[in-house]
Each structure stands twice: as structure tokens, then as C-alpha cells.
Amino acid sequence: MVKDNDIDEARIIPQHRVSPIATVSLRESFKMFPMTEERIVDSPYCITQISCNASDSVKSEPIIDDKIYGVKVHKDISVNVFELNYTIKVNDGYASNPLNNNGIKKILSDLETAEIVDAPVESLKVLIKDPKFGKLSGIDDEIFHATLISEKCDDRERKIVADYKVNELLIKKNNWQYRVLNCRELISRKEELNEDIKNYLISWRGKTGISLRSPVKIAQRLAREHFRDYRMIKTYGTGQEDRLVLLGIGR
């Protein structure tokens, strides 16, 4: 937990902000990033990887239900489990297993078969078509690959995450853990395919100030144009030993 004196002593990182998604809901992730065109390069969004798992126990009718002494005994309790480890399969610019309307319907149908309402996303990679990223960064590209990772919230993040009704069930089922999807990487697709050099627009690889690169305008664009209703903007500073300290959160 961050102490008040850590915040008081922290030096703000003026040129960088962090943009997370304020939910780890699988259903909401599909709503945010559906593939709407057949060719990958024509679609505003294309999920390339996504992983999550969820489980729920199903109780049988009690074999003992003693209302006098308050005893209940259940046997044969079953556990429903849903796991998703999706990776896109590409052939000549087209996905053979696209997460378009039909692909999303298939996965959500499987989720319902497991009798699970929603599942918490653990990691997500999505291609975003946005020429503005290129203009802001001076990169000649319009397709960018974002990597988002589920992580536990800071105490101040909890208030924002708790505001979203869709998160109530996920928090309850996940041992009351409040989580967000932090954007850990953003890179142009052309640069990603370059084996020699990797120039990331966003790169966040550790707990120190030197490990964080997330320019303000890039983070704001990502939040407002692409994360929309679930946007957050976090301001970090550096404290003792260059460790990151969360100073503020906005939307």
C-alpha cells in the first residue's frame, strides 16, 4: 500500500500517463473490440489474443436440511469451468477464426453452456486501426498492436472500478479482487514485424520510472477514442529508488 508520505515525496512524471480499461469483463471486451470487416487491415479492431477462465460451483439439493438446528448437507457439488485461450489464425490477410459477430456469439454461447454469466479477462492483444497514433508519434503506420494485462487495483482505482455495475459479479466471483486491464505495450504493426528494432509507443515493464514510457497524448487518445466508457487516465510519480507512485486518476 502506498503511504501518504510516499505520495508527498514523489516527483511527478510530467510527460507520461497510463491508460487502463476499468473492467476485465469478457463480454465488454467483445463489445469494445469486435472485428467488423473481413480483411484484418480494414477492420477498426481485431483481437489477436485473449485469455480468461472462470468457474462456478453448482450445488445439488441438500440431503439434510434441518431447520431446527440450522444444518444443511450437500453432496455431489459440481464445478462448471470455462477457459478461453484464443489466438488468431491468419491466412493471406484474413482470419480463419475471426472474433467477428459470429465468432463472438459462438464463444458467448459456450460461456452460457457453462452456466457462467461472465469471465474475467487475464490478457488481451488487439490491433487498433488509428492513423492519429501515427501522426502523434511520427510513425508512418495506421495499425497498432496493444497488449493489455489484468492487474489488481490500487485503493484509489477501486472506487472507479466499483462504479461499473458490470464489475459487481466479477468482483464477487473473483474473491473481491478489483482489477483493471493495464495497457503494457502499444507498437505499430510495421515496427512489430521488424526483427531488428522495436520502438514502442507505450512500454511499461516494471515498477520504476525508467520502466515506463506512455506519452500523455497517446494515452489520452487510447482512452478517449478506444476505451471510451471504460477509460481511465493514471498519473504516476517516482519516489524512493525511482519506484512508481500512483498520484492521481481521472477519466
Count the neighbouring beta carbons within 10 Å of the beta carbon of residue 103. 18
Domain locations along the chain = 4-250
pLDDT at 1: 47
Comparing 6-20, 212-226, 234-248, the range with the smallest average pLDDT is 6-20
Check residues 149 and 159 and name the one with the higher pLDDT: 149
Q: At 107, is the secondary structure helix, strand, or coil?
A: helix
pLDDT tens digits for range 93-129: 899 999 999 999 999 999 999 888 999 999 999 999 9
Range ranked top by mean pLDDT from 31-40, 50-59, 161-170: 31-40
Count the neighbouring beta carbons within 10 Å of the beta carbon of residue 185. 21
Query: Residue range 38-52: average pLDDT?
Result: 96
pLDDT tens digits for range 178-223: 999 999 999 999 988 887 767 899 999 988 888 999 999 999 999 9
Phi and psi torsions of 158, nearest 5°: -55, -40
88 in Cβ contact with 49 (< 8 Å)? yes
